[in-house]
Structure 1
Amino acid sequence: MFYFRVSALLPIFYLSVFLFSTQVHAFCFKEAGERYGVDPLLLIAIAQTESGLVPTATNINKKGTPKESIDIGLMQINSIWFGQLSNEWGITRKDLLNNPCQNVYVGAYILALNIKKNGVNWKSIGAYNAGFSDKTEAARIKYAKKVYNFYIQLLSKNRDIVIANASRGVLVK
């Protein structure tokens, strides 16, 4: 008869959870891109710019305003969206932080709204981070250039490998 300790299976369990979540994560960039008509590589370039591909990234902003805001997750979803996401779709701040796939979908949705409002251009991409206000034009341009530089790097590589690497949090060099 074969006996084993449950603790001996834990490393296998954790490895399978990691591998499964990695596959789901890679799937999310592709699916979110298809759902919202955005190139998955562009979503990865934004995630790389926003969070360095760290799913649990959280940042507090005090951009010269009396009220601070918070950015969370891979796509650094800003707290200005929390009310709408909760009211319309039942998506909570905790969901955005603990579910990288949902975070990518929300980021793709926000980018698609920008594109719908202003067209397919770098202003729409810059507005993902800085908004469309005339006051934030310099920040919008600076952000768009960062995303553009990552995006160009990604386009020069094998798409499937880039998406797989992004799913594991591997930055493009």
Structure 2
Amino acid sequence: MKTLCLLLFIFPGVASAFCFEEAAAHYNISPKLLRAIAHVESSFNFRAYNENKNELGEITSRDYGLMQINSSWFSRLAEFNVNESNVYEPCFNVSLGAWILASNFASHGYNWNSVGAYNAGFAKRAENARQIYIKKVQAVYFSPNFQ
């Protein structure tokens, strides 16, 4: 166990396959779908960071890590002790992303619309953004070279 933890710390990219499989099994989600979302969200960059701004240029939220976990989720994820430091831990980040996606599936069904809502939410005004995101994830997911 010590060796695994040390390897995960030194080589977080090596842990990625294990992390996706583990989170997928726990939340009953396809690991390939989780990997496709991570590819679209961060290109598998566990240090990825993004600031979302309104029309005035003010930061409204931030996205963190492989799965680009949005800071707006932090209050709902309080039970997992999510903060700006541990959200970058690759396996934890993938697990948080799987939790969000599983929540979408539970509330709106196991469908592509729920996948699109991972990025854009379910609001009617976000329909276009949701459809664009669905196409991005599907392009990766159905790519013959993507596993």
- Aligned partners of 1:63, 1:131: CA distance in 2, in Å? 16
SS in 1 for 2:138: helix
**Hey, what does 2:85 align to over in structure 1?**
94
Q: Do residues 141 (structure 1) and 134 (structure 2) align?
A: no
Tell me if the contact between 2:41 and 2:68 (Cα under 8 Å) persists in the aligned partners. yes
Residues 19-168 of structure 1: matches in 2 within 5 Å? 21-64=12-55, 68-85=60-77, 87-97=78-88, 99-153=89-143, 156-157=144-145, 162=147
Bigger share in helix = 1
Q: Do residues 17 (structure 1) and 20 (structure 2) align?
A: no
SS in 2 for 1:68: strand
Structure having greater relative contact order (Cα 8 Å, sep ≥ 6): 1
Instruction: Give CA deviations for 1:2-49 in whole Å, capped at 9, x if unaligned.
Output: xxxxxxxxxxx99x932xx34432111001001111100100100000
Q: Please list every run of at least 4 consecutive aligned residues from structure 1 whose deviation after the TM superposition is greater than 6 angstroms.
A: none
Instruction: Give CA deviations for 1:86-143 in whole Å, capped at 9, x if unaligned.
Output: x31212221012x111000000000000011110111100000000000000000000
Aligned-pair RMSD on alpha carbons?
2.2
Tell me if the contact between 1:51 and 1:75 (Cα under 8 Å) persists in the aligned partners. yes
Structure 2: which 5+ runs fail to align?
Answer: 1-5
Tell me if the contact between 1:82 and 1:93 (Cα under 8 Å) persists in the aligned partners. no
- Which letter maps to 2:123? S
Aligned residues: 140
- Aligned partners of 2:43, 2:69: CA distance in 1, in Å? 14
CA offset at residue 82 of structure 1? 1.4
Return the TM-score normalized by structure 1: 0.74
Tell me if the contact between 2:112 and 2:134 (Cα under 8 Å) persists in the aligned partners. yes
Return the TM-score normalized by structure 2: 0.87
Larger radius of gyration: 1
Structure 1: which 5+ runs fail to align?
Answer: 1-12, 163-173
